[in-house]
Amino acid sequence: MKKTWWKESVVYQIYPRSFNDSNGDGIGDIPGVIEKLDYLKELGVDVIWLSPVYQSPNDDNGYDISDYQAIMDDFGTMNDWEQLLDEIHQREMKLIMDLVVNHSSDEHAWFTESRKSKDNPFRDYYIWRPDKEGKEPNNWAATFGGSAWDYDEASGEYYLHLFSKKQPDLNWENSELRHEVYDMMKWWLDKGIDGFRMDVINFISKADGLPDGPNPHNKKYGDGSQYFMNGPRIHEFLHEMNQEVISKYDVMTVGEMPGVSVEQAIEYTDDSREELQMVFQFEHMDLDSGPEGKWDLKPLDLRDLKKSISRWQTGLHGTGWNSLYMNNHDQPRVVSRFGNDKEYRVTSAKMLGTFLHMLQGTPYIYQGEELGMTNIKFDSIQDYKDIETLNYYRDALNDGKSEHEIMQSIYTKGRDNARTPMQWNSEKNAGFTTGSPWIAVNENYKEINASQAVHDPESIFHYYKKLISLRKDHKIIQYGDYQLLLPDHQEIYAYARSYEGQKLLVLTNFSNQEQTFTKPENLSFYAKDILIGNGQINSLHVEKVVLKPYEAVVYLGE
Ligand code: TEU
Ligand code: CA
């Protein structure tokens, strides 16, 4: 397998709206990011992924783009952005940008043209269909509620939007559209960026005829995902994009892909197929959801996590490449989700970081994860800002769910959990803004903030710093193989890795009780060193290891 810089890198995701506000308008911005680059350099990350900063009416916080080649006024100017790129490069870090081309904003010039009339030259840039017997062209539900189709009075047809109605899907069947996208990508790459994170990129090819999806519970709308996820021409489109654009630059690509399987991910990321380098898969993020989807709460069974992660680790080893994440701007905070954000916040955040960072793949850290930032619980729905959450609240009330049940789902799974302002210090608004923040700051900022963490050698921040530097110093973390231990244990996640005669043993306790690890007979392991741990373990004796609540320890041996 080829060794490359992006297999040896750690990525940090910035959600700019919530990162750092430089001018007191309550909204994070690009100059605000520049102010914090030294902080990121100290943490030791190699690559910054910047969530969308393009011009947008902000129906979905920038994931609805009205001009792909301009910077959103809230965030600054193109000059600010150029300075950002320059300052990142000066610090020997890299910048990858978000590419959102499954859909645009309905305020993009292409769409304003497209909706003008059926014979407009841009009509075919989007997916327009006549009604079916006076109703929507098919039964697909949109991710943010309601039908995936919206009726346009003026031209008398429906357009497809898999997300909100202000996010019309682009028509990738149209080759002119595809080439406009490629030109736009080249324009950014020629400015010197180091790659792209591609939003729902496995949705761009839709099945011929756009058939109705299954609707087993006879709800208002059906599930069309089998007709738009990993569709018939997806590999052709990604290969074309690779040949026309990506292959001409030394850059990294990561495709966000809900509903992708291990087998499909191998196809997307196998070098020789020349498509993408890695994907974000969702299996491990869906394990705590019931059959009704993300709002249908279900506790995590650790054995499910083991099964899933292990299939991905073994499946992609030597054939493709994994990305490693448990947090991003769409997910609740992992310390609140799979850890314990009360009495074991610091310990469990370190344990979760250890578990993830010792795996094979490229790790992604989401802003605030390195501080152990937690979920938010606003009393009133008025304080929530996310379109998905607000639509869910409205639709679920209409469906007769109780307010209490709805709020429990939102507290547990809502995307605003990840979007409260970054907690920089214990001053007003956590140092995020001098004005009034666009979304309220988590009240726990006096205790949980970057300034505290940077000054405390025992902090999660310093622990992450060490995890990052261990990956740099140990090829086994980057390239070793993976073996799951104790598959049936309900509280301990243990795995071993090996590489060129070296071995790594990773023990993590996912519970608030003491647990004893007993080394399985089929594992031969002689510990020589402890690389990192969040507790007191200092013995190299691994036959029996007593792990305190949420304890993690990593041994290097042979
Ligand atoms: O997300 C795509 C996606 O399918 C999910 O992550 C989804 O937004 C969420 O889980 C709903 O529960 C991407 C972006 O990351 C997200 O922020 C955007 O809203 C979405 O695409 C549309 O661009
Ligand atoms: Ca601002």
Atom of ligand 1 nearest to the CA of 143: 11
Q: Is the CB of 21 under 6 A from ligand 1?
A: no
Query: For residue range 343-399, what is the model confidence (pLDDT) as tens digits?
Result: 999 999 999 999 999 999 999 999 999 999 999 999 999 999 999 999 999 999 999
Residue 14 alpha carbon to ligand 1 centre in Å: 16
According to DSSP, the β-strands at 11-14 and 47-50 are parallel
Backbone angles phi, psi at 451, to 5 degrees: -65, -45
Torsion of CA 362, 367, 369, 371, to 10 degrees: 130
Q: Domain holding 316: CATH number?
A: 3.20.20.80
Which of 412, 443, 466 is the last residue before a domain boundary? Answer: 466
Q: Is the CB of 330 under 6 A from ligand 1?
A: yes
What pLDDT score does 290 carry? 97
Nearest ligand to the CA of 75 is 2
Indicate whether 238 belongs to any domain.
yes
Residue 383 alpha carbon to ligand 2 centre in Å: 20
Q: Which amino acid is at 131?
A: D
Q: Is the CB of 388 under 6 A from ligand 1?
A: yes
Residue 380 alpha carbon to ligand 2 centre in Å: 25
Question: Which range is least confidently modeled, 170-174, 214-218, 401-405, 415-419?
Answer: 214-218
Mean pLDDT, residues 18-43 taken together: 99
List the beta bridge partners of residue 509. Answer: 492
pLDDT over 90, % of the chain: 99
DSSP string, 244-307: HTGGGS--EEEEE-TT--HHHHHHHH-GGG-S-SEEE--GGGSTTEETTEEEEE-PPPHHHHHH
439 Cβ partners below 8 Å, 6+ apart? 18, 383, 385, 416, 419, 420, 421
Nearest to 509 by CA among 530, 536, 489: 489
Residue 510 DSSP class = -
Atom of ligand 1 nearest to the CA of 60: 19
What pLDDT score does 1 carry? 74
Q: Is the CB of 416 under 6 A from ligand 1?
A: no
Pocket test for ligand 1, best of 199, 294, 387 (most atoms within 8 A of CB): 199
Q: Is the CB of 64 under 6 A from ligand 1?
A: no
Query: For residue range 297-327, what is the model confidence (pLDDT) as tens digits?
Result: 999 999 999 999 999 999 999 999 999 999 9
Mean pLDDT, residues 69-86 taken together: 98
Residue 200 alpha carbon to ligand 1 centre in Å: 7
Q: Which residues are catalytic?
A: 199, 256
Give yes or no: residues 68 and 91 share one domain: yes
Atom of ligand 1 nearest to the CA of 64: 23
Q: Domain holding 154: CATH number?
A: 3.90.400.10
Torsion of CA 39, 45, 47, 51, to 10 degrees: -60
**pLDDT higher than threshold 90 for residue 274:** yes
Nearest ligand to the CA of 325 is 1
Host domain of residue 63: 5-102+175-376+425-466
Residue 376 alpha carbon to ligand 2 centre in Å: 22
Which of 466, 497, 530 is the last residue before a domain boundary? Answer: 466
Mean pLDDT, residues 271-278 taken together: 97
- Expressed in percent and rounded to 5, the helix, strand and coil fractions of the chain are 35, 20, 45
Tally of domains within the chain: 3
Query: For residue range 277-299, what is the model confidence (pLDDT) as tens digits?
Result: 999 999 999 999 999 999 999 99
User: Hey, whose CA ends up nearest to atom 8 of ligand 1?
Assistant: 330
Residue 428 alpha carbon to ligand 2 centre in Å: 16
Indicate whether 357 belongs to any domain.
yes
Residue 133 alpha carbon to ligand 1 centre in Å: 31
Determine which helix (DSSP H) or strand (DSSP E) holds 552, and give its type and residue range: strand 552-557
Give yes or no: residues 66 and 196 share one domain: yes
Nearest ligand to the CA of 161 is 1
Nearest to 85 by CA among 11, 194, 6: 194
Q: Is the CB of 240 under 6 A from ligand 1?
A: no
Indicate whether 93 belongs to any domain.
yes
Mark 44-79 as b/e (b = at least 16 C-beta within 10 Å).
bbbbbbbbbbbbbebbbbbbbbbebeebbebbbeee
Indicate whether 192 belongs to any domain.
yes
Residue 416 alpha carbon to ligand 1 centre in Å: 12
Indicate whether 167 belongs to any domain.
no
Q: Domain holding 495: CATH number?
A: 2.60.40.1180
Which residues are placed with Cβ below 5 angstroms of ligand 2, an ion? 21, 23, 25, 27, 29
Atom of ligand 1 nearest to the CA of 102: 23
Q: How many residues does the chain have?
A: 558
Query: For residue range 473-502, what is the model confidence (pLDDT) as tens digits?
Result: 999 999 999 999 999 999 999 999 999 999
The chain-wide mean pLDDT, for the chain, equals 98
What pLDDT score does 2 carry? 87
Q: Is the CB of 260 under 6 A from ligand 1?
A: no
Atom of ligand 1 nearest to the CA of 163: 22
Chain position carrying tokens 């750690």: 10
User: Hey, whose CA ends up nearest to atom 6 of ligand 1?
Assistant: 330
Indicate whether 391 belongs to any domain.
no
Q: Is the CB of 294 under 6 A from ligand 1?
A: yes
Nearest ligand to the CA of 255 is 1
User: Is the Cβ–Cβ distance between 60 and 167 less than 8 Å?
Assistant: yes
User: Hey, whose CA ends up nearest to atom 23 of ligand 1?
Assistant: 63
Give yes or no: residues 216 and 287 share one domain: yes
Nearest ligand to the CA of 13 is 1
Q: Which amino acid is at 244?
A: E
Measured CA to CA, the distance from residue 222 to residue 219 in angstroms comes to 7
Q: Is the CB of 199 under 6 A from ligand 1?
A: yes
Give yes or no: residues 432 and 526 share one domain: no
Give yes or no: residues 539 and 457 share one domain: no
Indicate whether 168 belongs to any domain.
no
Give yes or no: residues 231 and 181 share one domain: yes
pTM above 0.90, yes or no: yes
Indicate if the alpha-carbon torsion angle 54, 258, 169, 254 is positive or negative.
positive
Q: Is the CB of 60 under 6 A from ligand 1?
A: yes
What pLDDT score does 398 carry? 96
CB atoms within 10 A of CB 381: 15
Give yes or no: residues 205 and 309 share one domain: yes
Indicate if the alpha-carbon torsion angle 169, 170, 171, 172 is positive or negative.
negative
Give yes or no: residues 142 and 185 share one domain: no
Give yes or no: residues 493 and 345 share one domain: no
Q: Is the CB of 323 under 6 A from ligand 1?
A: no
Chain position carrying tokens 């990993």: 230
Q: Which amino acid is at 524?
A: S
Give yes or no: residues 229 and 298 share one domain: yes
Indicate whether 170 belongs to any domain.
no
Q: What is the ipTM metric for this complex? A: 0.97
Give yes or no: residues 193 and 297 share one domain: yes
Give yes or no: residues 230 and 341 share one domain: yes
Backbone angles phi, psi at 290, to 5 degrees: -85, -175
Pocket test for ligand 1, best of 66, 98, 100, 143 (most atoms within 8 A of CB): 143
Query: For residue range 410-437, what is the model confidence (pLDDT) as tens digits?
Result: 999 999 999 999 999 999 999 999 999 9
Query: For residue range 159-174, what is the model confidence (pLDDT) as tens digits?
Result: 999 999 999 999 999 9
213-218 long-range contacts (CB < 8 A, ≥24 apart) are: 213/138, 213/139, 213/140, 215/139
Pocket test for ligand 1, best of 13, 53, 200, 285 (most atoms within 8 A of CB): 200
User: Hey, whose CA ends up nearest to atom 14 of ligand 1?
Assistant: 199
Backbone angles phi, psi at 253, to 5 degrees: -135, 140
Residue 61 alpha carbon to ligand 2 centre in Å: 14
**pLDDT higher than threshold 90 for residue 65:** yes
